[in-house]
């Protein structure tokens, strides 16, 4: 009697389903849906924290500030905060004004005034750096244009400002003369609202 023979392969119709097939399973759908819901939930929780970073009304009110300079005398400086930045106000002596006026533009590292009250290409003469109509006053953002340090006043080779971080030297008009700083210190929008009050911003 001959031995019975059996097929050694399983028909395709009886093969186990491929868990990695191209058709998405219900489990895949639930994983994707759960992930999407989690993303939406995290975004909803994060929004109040992001929104609170926007400036409130009190911060926007500080877009401009008034500074009383009635007590200042020639040779004095004060520093005020405006939009989170220090602003130097210098009541310059006649000698400081003359030194700045007598500096040829060809001696300047940055020939542009960097004055928000003027055209962007205005030359860096002392007249274009001083407060409008009050040349004895210099108002500028007290941040070195190299890496953002705060320079020291009445210092350096020109008795203007000196940044000890990397040695940038500014003259009595706040113009960069030596060192790595690429630009003159910024003159913000400035106006005298009366004889004793400077409005910044």
- Element spanning 155, H or E: strand 152-155
> How much is the pLDDT for 41?
64
**pTM (two decimals):** 0.69
Structure-token pair, residue 48: 């109040």
Q: How many CB atoms lie within 10 A of CB 86?
A: 14
Q: Report d(CA 123, CA 114) in Å as an integer.
A: 9
Task: Provide the token pair at 79.
Answer: 């520093």
Residue 178 among the catalytic residues:
no
What pLDDT, on a 0 to 100 scale, did the predictor assign at position 14?
47
Give Cα separations from 179 to 106, 138, 151, 156 (angstroms): 17, 21, 12, 11
Give the whole-angstrom CA distance, residue 27 versus residue 150.
60
Report the distance separating Cα 179 and Cα 184, nearest Å. Answer: 12
Catalytic residue, candidates 20, 146, 166, 178: 166
DSSP codes, 66-78: EEE-TT--TT-EE
pLDDT in tens, the chain (201 residues): 445 554 555 444 444 555 555 556 777 666 776 777 766 666 666 666 665 666 555 555 568 999 999 999 999 999 999 999 999 999 999 999 999 999 999 999 999 999 999 999 999 999 999 998 899 999 999 999 999 999 999 999 999 999 999 999 999 999 999 999 999 999 999 999 999 999 999
């Amino acid at each position: 009697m001959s031995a019975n023979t059996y097929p050694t392969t399983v028909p395709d119709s009886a093969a186990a389903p491929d868990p990695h097939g191209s058709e998405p399973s219900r489990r895949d759908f639930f994983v994707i849906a759960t992930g999407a819901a989690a993303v939406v939930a995290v975004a909803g929780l994060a929004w109040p924290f992001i929104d609170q970073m926007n400036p409130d009304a009190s911060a926007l009110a500080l877009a401009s500030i008034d500074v009383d300079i009635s007590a200042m005398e020639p040779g004095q400086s004060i520093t005020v905060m405006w939009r989170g930045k220090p602003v130097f106000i210098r009541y310059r002596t006649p000698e400081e004004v003359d030194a700045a006026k007598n500096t040829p533009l060809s001696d300047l590292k940055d020939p542009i005034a960097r004055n928000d009250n003027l055209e962007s290409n205005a030359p860096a003469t002392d007249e274009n750096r001083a407060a409008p109509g009050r040349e004895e006053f210099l108002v500028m953002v007290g941040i070195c244009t190299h890496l953002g340090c705060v320079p020291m006043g009445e210092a350096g080779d020109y008795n203007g400002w000196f940044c000890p971080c990397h040695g940038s030297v500014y003259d009595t008009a706040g113009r960069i003369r030596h060192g790595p700083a690429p630009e003159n210190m910024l003159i913000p929008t400035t106006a005298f609202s009366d004889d004793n009050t400077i409005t910044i911003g």
